[in-house]
A and B are shown apart, each in its own frame.
Chain A
Amino acid sequence: MSLLGSQITARRSQMTLLQKVGQVNWGLIFLLTVLASVGFTALYSAGGGSFEPWAGRQMIRFAIGVVLMVGIAVVDLRIWYRFAYLFYGVALVLLIAVEVAGSIGMGAQRWLDLGVIQLQPSELMKISLVLVLARYFHGLTIEQIGRPHYLIWPTLLVLIPAALVAKQPDLGTAVLITATGGTLFFLAGVRLWKFGVIIAGVAAAIPIGWQFLHDYQKQRVYTFLDPESDPLGAGYHIIQSKIALGSGGLWGKGFMQGTQSQLQFLPEKQTDFIFTMFSEEMGFFGGVFLLGLYAVIMLYGTLIAMRSRSQFGRLMAMGIMTSFFIYAFINMAMVMGLLPVVGVPLPLVSYGGTAMMSLLIAFGLVINAYVHRDVIIGRRGHGEEV
């Protein structure tokens, strides 16, 4: 490392706010804006050619969210490192609060009404978990990671919120939290055979866990396995979604011309099934374009993660990107009939304020990792400059 180089990096760690804003990755923000715009277009169509009731509100949220995202991006990385456990603790308390005194919504306790806003603690937990695990693994050497007892604590960090969310019951989010946590274990360098053991263990536990599932959750699995068995009931969503997708064909039925969507055969077209609606109207090529957009964003995020010189920054950025991917994949696989209907929205495209905000906050952290790519944090957590 040349002297000059270290001077540059030293300068970067003590950038002014303006310098940091200059370092914000506008390319990624552009891609996110394109993605969100696909969502606006689809919501405009879902509203029957109107900004009401969805597209307009979604655009305002996105605008607010982008400002929030930039704000988060320029906060010193070490602040996020330092407060990781605090955020996690707050999220966990809120999850428990939901469990204890949560208001009822959608038949499940997921929302906490704070008077002004309705907070979904599980959204907060997803981000906090990435932060807290990134911080924990940041502090471990590769040798320590190899020792099983160092993995007990992070496993608890994952399983406690996952269990709470599953109890809400929100099986989809619980799976997402577990998968995100697992990804961080993987990225931190936990040996692959250990994953093998865990997967085998989970596979063995499925028959036992099955008994703890709610009937409607079991029903969703049954319906997934054979949607035609209940064409007017639970299977209706999947059947109609496949009809909408398939009938879109290569080129689609045209903007605002999707019969399945416009005539209300497709349920939840503005939220969980927005990908179906988009692909019905824009066809195979439209759908592939959207998939491509997600792939490019993921590649971009991965490169950002790799560019970071702190393990915390790397794990945080990659953890968030993977969580983003899992969301997108589960949603799309679900509407295509490859996975059960689990109620996961399509990130940045589906209508929904909470999801939009938490996603943009998360991307704020990814950009943060880029802005602070040369900041090095000591193993004990003190900021170090090379």
Chain B
Amino acid sequence: MKRENPRTKIFNRRAAMLVGGQIGLFGLLVGRMYFLQVIEAEKYKVLADENRINLRLLAPPRGRLLDRFGEPLATNQLNYRVVVVPEQTGSVAQTLDVIAHILPLSEGDRRRIMREVARKRRFLPITIKDNLTWEEVSAIAVNAHDLPGVSIESGSSRFYPNGPELAHVVGYVAPPSEADLTGDPLLELPDFRIGRNGVEKVYDLALRGKAGSSQIEVNAAGRPIRELARVEGEAGQDVVLTIDLHLQKMLAERLAQERSAAAVLLDVHTGEVLALVSSPSYDPNEFSKGISPSLWRSLLRDERHPLTNKAVSGQYAPGSTFKMMTALAALDAGVIAPETRVFCRGWVELGDNRFHCWKKGGHGAVDMVDSLKHSCDVYFYELARRLGIDRIAQMARRFGLGQTVGIDLPSERAGLIPTRDWKRATLGQPWAQGESLVAAIGQGFVLATPLQLAVMTARLVNGGYAVTPRLTRDKINGRQIVERGPETWPSIGVPPQHLALMLRGMHGVVNDPRGTAFRARITDPEFAMGGKTGTSQVRRITAEERRNGLRKPDQVPWRERDHALFVGYAPVDNPRYAVAVVVEHGGGGSTAAAPIARDILWEAQRRARERPEPLTRMAEKGTERAL
């Protein structure tokens, strides 16, 4: 090999160059791998995890709503649906044929299912039918062996066992709208429901709970492989309402006998709302199922406004139920002594106008207690003339009128207590003295909600404390629920002897044979109630009508009839309950509204003996506390 061929030399040199170059290129690959697998490793690890891990939110069960004794007012109900997983069944069409023997399946259902089968991945379940009855569920289960790939899934939906009777208190839930999205990931769950009205809305955060999460490993096609980790959420908390379901139902039934009415029953010391009804109502279950457009339209069109909670947002002229305000203002201002008599001949004249008393012939000479008992308008015209509107308004505001009282319900309205300034500011006109006279008997500009009238009554009879109404037994602040300690209300600054006069008058209204509501009295002396009737005109009575004699109520179209009002309390010696009843276009307060108040006050007192211990949320957790 000494005479080595030059070709061999060249070959060896070039082969060495080649293999050297190859090793060099491999070095480049090692460098690239170092870059990817060591330097950038963290970034790619994150990307790989993003690929494979699906974060699935776990919806916590929504807290229940309970009445003061723990009766469920809103619960979660399992609903069942039958689903099919296409890849686990031989032929979806065949499977549907079998199921059609068990459940009614329409052509439309079948088309929708086959469309979904074509569109979705084959391992994803497709809903065949929702909201199955228990019979249907068991029929599917019995035939399971004929139905490969078919299974029953359950979901949770809100259920209101008492339906319309509590609709305006509990409200309802609905899918969140764009505006509700606050960043809570729960809201983005497809079947999540948010409180849309009533207590469901006001205490939504506490009821909602917190989302849990489950990390699911998925493959490239999105098929779940296994669960990697699970964080349990927090179940929504139960909220105990002050409502007494029994009284609520009774009041609802009572009001349902009228065309359109609202009433509120309060505990005068605590402000707890025991019953709050607006009638007619609607079934909140329709909303959690998804209300049908036709039902929605008919609810909207109904002239009796079933969707409106008239107890807190219906504003009515309070009529004679307002007279205590005028009387107290007069006492406060010292413009009249209680025993001073005013002569009522049926009307008074002011300028060119004649202001009539409801009683055509007049009441004769009446003092303050008599004027309340008989509801003599002329007496109060006289007070108004001496007082002026502003002093009346100032007294009314102390009793919670003309402003929202702060109940925990949405869409509470403020009513209206007019003043000189108010009229100038809103209407641009000076106050006319005649308007004071009208306002003094709760007509004209004056407006109040049934809730405000109940609060007013409570403050009249509880010794003059500014009690405010509330719907929950515990104090709820966002997600926090804490027990409510005994509450002390500020005094409204009305001397007890003035209040005692009002109570005497209101006692007489019901219990004096000549009182306007004598026929609606409670005969059992232990349970006796006091109160004040009110009849508020929806339209002004013209002079001509007055001359021709008033029409009988049943001759007047419903919409033009007077509203019937009654505010009452019981028991008379040591008042504990206050009630306000408004029957829209019900005619007279004594005939339409007072009997309702009587029934509910009687039942509330009877029940207090029978069932004295309500719940708090703490009781729910095992420690009972008597009120």
Residues of A within 8 A of B (CB): 1, 141-142, 183, 186-189, 240, 242-250, 259-260, 263-265, 279, 283-284, 287-288, 291, 294-295, 298-299, 302, 305-306, 309, 311, 314-315, 318, 322, 325, 329, 332-333, 336, 338
10 contacts between A and B (CB under 8 A): A142-B7, A243-B44, A243-B51, A244-B44, A245-B37, A246-B41, A247-B48, A260-B51, A302-B19, A329-B25
Is the CB of B57 closer than 8 A to any CB of chain A? Answer: no
Is the CB of B97 closer than 8 A to any CB of chain A? Answer: no
A294 CA to B30 CA, complexed, in Å:
12
B residues 22-40 in Cβ contact with A at 8 Å: 22-23, 25-26, 28-30, 32-34, 36-38, 40
Is the CB of B202 closer than 8 A to any CB of chain A? Answer: no
- Residues from chain A with a CB closer than 8 A to the CB of B34 are 284
Closest 9 CB pairs of A and B: A246-B44, A247-B48, A263-B219, A264-B220, A189-B10, A284-B37, A249-B41, A247-B44, A302-B19
Number of interface residues of B (CB under 8 A): 43
- Residues from chain B with a CB closer than 8 A to the CB of A279 are 33, 37
A288 CA to B1 CA, complexed, in Å:
39
CB pair B29–A263 under 8 Å, yes or no, is: no
Residue of B nearest to A266 (CB): B220
CB pair A333–B29 under 8 Å, yes or no, is: yes
Task: Choose from B14, B23, B29, B47 the contact partner of A332 (Cβ within 8 Å).
Answer: B29
Is the CB of B142 closer than 8 A to any CB of chain A? Answer: no
Residue of B nearest to A318 (CB): B15
Residue of B nearest to A249 (CB): B41
A227 CA to B34 CA, complexed, in Å:
20
Given contacts A189-B11, A189-B14, A247-B48, 11 further A-B contacts (CB under 8 A): A142-B10, A183-B18, A186-B14, A246-B48, A264-B219, A264-B220, A265-B52, A287-B37, A329-B22, A333-B32, A338-B29
- Residues from chain A with a CB closer than 8 A to the CB of B47 are 243, 246-247
CB pair A259–B18 under 8 Å, yes or no, is: no
Nearest CB of A to B624, in Å? 54
CB pair B48–A336 under 8 Å, yes or no, is: no
Is the CB of B2 closer than 8 A to any CB of chain A? Answer: yes
Contact A338:B225 (CB < 8 A) given known A142-B6, A311-B7: no
Nearest CB of A to B242, in Å? 55
Nearest CB of B to A99, in Å? 32
Residue of B nearest to A137 (CB): B7
CB pair B218–A263 under 8 Å, yes or no, is: yes
A130 CA to B361 CA, complexed, in Å:
132
Contact A294:B37 (CB < 8 A) given known A142-B10, A259-B52, A318-B15: no
CB pair A291–B26 under 8 Å, yes or no, is: yes
- Residues from chain B with a CB closer than 8 A to the CB of A259 are 48-49, 51-52, 217
Contact A1:B1 (CB < 8 A) given known A242-B36, A243-B51, A246-B43: yes
CB pair B37–A283 under 8 Å, yes or no, is: yes
CB pair B2–A1 under 8 Å, yes or no, is: yes
CB pair A329–B26 under 8 Å, yes or no, is: yes
Nearest CB of B to A297, in Å? 11
CB pair B37–A249 under 8 Å, yes or no, is: yes
CB pair B11–A265 under 8 Å, yes or no, is: no
Task: Choose from B10, B23, B44, B220 the contact partner of A245 (Cβ within 8 Å).
Answer: B44
CB pair A247–B220 under 8 Å, yes or no, is: no
Residue of B nearest to A247 (CB): B48
A247 CA to B42 CA, complexed, in Å:
7
A242 CA to B39 CA, complexed, in Å:
13
B residues 331-347 in Cβ contact with A at 8 Å: none
Is the CB of B385 closer than 8 A to any CB of chain A? Answer: no
A244 CA to B220 CA, complexed, in Å:
13
CB pair A250–B38 under 8 Å, yes or no, is: yes
CB pair A245–B33 under 8 Å, yes or no, is: yes
Is the CB of B12 closer than 8 A to any CB of chain A? Answer: yes
- Residues from chain B with a CB closer than 8 A to the CB of A240 are 51
Task: Choose from B5, B7, B45 the contact partner of A247 (Cβ within 8 Å).
Answer: B45
Is the CB of B608 closer than 8 A to any CB of chain A? Answer: no
- Residues from chain A with a CB closer than 8 A to the CB of B6 are 142
CB pair A246–B2 under 8 Å, yes or no, is: no
Residue of B nearest to A322 (CB): B18
Is the CB of B221 closer than 8 A to any CB of chain A? Answer: yes
- Residues from chain A with a CB closer than 8 A to the CB of B2 are 1
Contact A260:B48 (CB < 8 A) given known A306-B12, A318-B18: yes
- Residues from chain A with a CB closer than 8 A to the CB of B220 are 263-265
Task: Choose from B22, B32, B219 the contact partner of A336 (Cβ within 8 Å).
Answer: B32
Residue of B nearest to A250 (CB): B38
CB pair B51–A265 under 8 Å, yes or no, is: yes
Nearest CB of B to A386, in Å? 9
Nearest CB of A to B26, in Å? 5
Nearest CB of B to A81, in Å? 16
CB pair B7–A288 under 8 Å, yes or no, is: no
Is the CB of B488 closer than 8 A to any CB of chain A? Answer: no
A202 CA to B40 CA, complexed, in Å:
36
- Residues from chain B with a CB closer than 8 A to the CB of A287 are 33, 37
A248 CA to B52 CA, complexed, in Å:
14
A325 CA to B25 CA, complexed, in Å:
10
A315 CA to B7 CA, complexed, in Å:
11
CB pair B19–A336 under 8 Å, yes or no, is: no
Nearest CB of B to A258, in Å? 9
CB pair B30–A245 under 8 Å, yes or no, is: no
- Residues from chain A with a CB closer than 8 A to the CB of B28 are 338
Is the CB of B555 closer than 8 A to any CB of chain A? Answer: no
Is the CB of B182 closer than 8 A to any CB of chain A? Answer: no
Nearest CB of B to A140, in Å? 8
- Residues from chain B with a CB closer than 8 A to the CB of A329 are 22, 25-26, 29
Task: Choose from B25, B33, B219, B225 the contact partner of A288 (Cβ within 8 Å).
Answer: B33
Is the CB of B8 closer than 8 A to any CB of chain A? Answer: yes
- Residues from chain B with a CB closer than 8 A to the CB of A311 are 5, 7-8, 11
Nearest CB of A to B121, in Å? 13
Residue of A nearest to B23 (CB): A295
- Residues from chain A with a CB closer than 8 A to the CB of B1 are 1, 309
Residue of B nearest to A280 (CB): B48
Nearest CB of B to A318, in Å? 5
- Residues from chain B with a CB closer than 8 A to the CB of A246 are 36-37, 40-41, 43-45, 47-48
A314 CA to B10 CA, complexed, in Å:
12
CB pair B33–A284 under 8 Å, yes or no, is: yes
Q: Would you give the 0/1 interface string for B400-423, flagging 1 where the beta carbon is closer than 8 Å to chain A? A: 000000000000000000000000
- Residues from chain B with a CB closer than 8 A to the CB of A244 are 44, 48
CB pair B15–A336 under 8 Å, yes or no, is: no
A291 CA to B25 CA, complexed, in Å:
11
Residue of B nearest to A314 (CB): B11
Nearest CB of B to A47, in Å? 15
CB pair A263–B22 under 8 Å, yes or no, is: no
A209 CA to B538 CA, complexed, in Å:
92
CB pair B36–A245 under 8 Å, yes or no, is: yes
A265 CA to B49 CA, complexed, in Å:
11
Nearest CB of B to A189, in Å? 4
CB pair B45–A302 under 8 Å, yes or no, is: no
- Residues from chain A with a CB closer than 8 A to the CB of B23 are 295, 298-299
A249 CA to B29 CA, complexed, in Å:
15
CB pair B32–A338 under 8 Å, yes or no, is: yes
A142 CA to B10 CA, complexed, in Å:
9
A240 CA to B221 CA, complexed, in Å:
14
Task: Choose from A186, A189, A245, A338 the contact partner of B7 (Cβ within 8 Å).
Answer: A189
A242 CA to B41 CA, complexed, in Å:
10
CB pair A325–B22 under 8 Å, yes or no, is: yes
- Residues from chain A with a CB closer than 8 A to the CB of B12 are 306
Residue of A nearest to B53 (CB): A259
CB pair A248–B37 under 8 Å, yes or no, is: yes
- Residues from chain B with a CB closer than 8 A to the CB of A265 are 48, 51-52, 219-220
Nearest CB of B to A10, in Å? 15
A294 CA to B221 CA, complexed, in Å:
35
Contact A306:B10 (CB < 8 A) given known A243-B51, A246-B44, A291-B30: no
- Residues from chain A with a CB closer than 8 A to the CB of B26 are 291, 294-295, 329
Residue of B nearest to A267 (CB): B220
